[in-house]
Structure 1
């Protein structure tokens, strides 16, 4: 399924992967791949939860691909979505060596046949006409995603992005609790995680939506596997009750 917003077409392809296309044809992807979401095997592995599923995806039409952190970096996924002239915008701490040591076989972004831009907190850049702001993303030491006070996503591990396509500002939070650095962002399309573990949950995401007052909320990064289960219908009702438009994109994909 594809939703439209302010001239953009937006699809959640599964896990943390979203595709955004501007009216001029510029295409941006967030965090492509993992858990069979682009290989066409998600449903066989994880079942029938409300979550995108479909055949293998190999569009290779992305002008810009953004990667928030190690857990979302999949070099095969990048190659499935990136065009030959793509620019891959990668958070500075992403490490293929560390990922491979943890049991997943990936190559360094710089080994891929694309232009690579490494970025850190507070950076701003423009790529293929897309303005990109790099936003901190982390779990709070005293929050629910910090067992024994050790955040699963400590500050410095990853980021979020505000992506501006033809004037429309789209905020993908990355894997983060609700944090101070998000509170004053100007956002038109808000794409939060609403998973019950590792990130802000649906309740905190709804509170942040109320604070940011976006024109539309489209949740992603939930129901991929059991630990990411979320009641998206309850989330949508909660957000709508606060007077904020919200849409769910959980349908089957046809590639």
Structure 2
């Protein structure tokens, strides 16, 4: 029976690529889903970030208690995916540009949070910070102030989710980040070199490259790992399969 239990755990971990992060208030389980989508489980709560890929991408996952959305684009605010999920117990947290588009009555509630605001929601501290393209222009794909990156504090650990951003000063100025999820896909966000340079500056304990599919295919995350560790060897760069169909 013990061997069977271990085997089942390994199979489950392989399916979702789960990692476990210890905190002062219990473990955080991390499950990469697709592109910029990740699921956290913490202290009896399940958190979906930017649910995308259709409801079938979440088969086997628990129903969400908290849903975080970073921006208006379809790979972040995917209404089709949201419509296919059971959100009856979920609070959706989003910037104003997203929350004003969300239908009323589909979830337990909607909370608008904008850049530089912090709110305690479902036992998780949610801090919104800017995410935007450089240089700042009127026709930018991601203008400053519209979307949110997030820093989630769970127990004594801080988790940073970049959203769609370039290597902005606000990201480089981050401190004491335990786990970071950093995007890298041209022409929408930044390239591998920019992402690696930024990460080497703010030095999270662990970093996951995510959201790395662009118009030219998948970014070279092995190069990202090499670049980061050549400058900041203490950063644990974790490569996971965010594109299971590739």
Unmatched 5+ residue regions in structure 1?
Answer: 41-54, 98-107
CA–CA separation in structure 2 for the residues paired with 1:75 and 1:88: 12
1:88 is the counterpart of 2:92: yes
State the 4+ residue runs in structure 1 displaced beyond 4 angstroms: 79-83
1:120 is the counterpart of 2:114: yes
Alpha-carbon distance change, 9 to 109 in structure 1, aligned in 2, over 3 angstroms:
same
CA–CA separation in structure 1 for the residues paired with 2:242 and 2:135: 36
Alpha-carbon distance change, 191 to 63 in structure 1, aligned in 2, over 3 angstroms:
same
1:200-215 alignment runs, 5 A limit: 200-215=190-205
Q: Summarize deviations over 1:97-154 as a string: whole Å, max 9, x none.
A: 6xxxxxxxxxx24342321001111110011100000001111126xxx7xx732111
**Displacement of 1:63 after TM fit?**
1.5
**Displacement of 1:93 after TM fit?**
1.4
Select the residue among 50, 67, 79 that pairs with 2:69: 67
Alpha-carbon distance change, 217 to 82 in structure 1, aligned in 2, over 3 angstroms:
farther
Native 8 Å contact 1:63 1:82 kept in 2: no
1:9 is the counterpart of 2:13: no
Unmatched 5+ residue regions in structure 2?
Answer: 1-16
1:162 is the counterpart of 2:151: yes
Which has the bigger relative contact order, CA under 8 A and spacing at least 6?
A: 1
CA–CA separation in structure 2 for the residues paired with 1:251 and 1:59: 16
Alpha-carbon distance change, 109 to 130 in structure 1, aligned in 2, over 3 angstroms:
farther
SS of the residue 2:88 aligns to: strand
CA–CA separation in structure 2 for the residues paired with 1:96 and 1:116: 9
Native 8 Å contact 1:60 1:79 kept in 2: no
**Displacement of 1:213 after TM fit?**
1.3
TM-score (norm 1): 0.77
**Displacement of 1:77 after TM fit?**
2.3
CA–CA separation in structure 2 for the residues paired with 1:26 and 1:95: 22
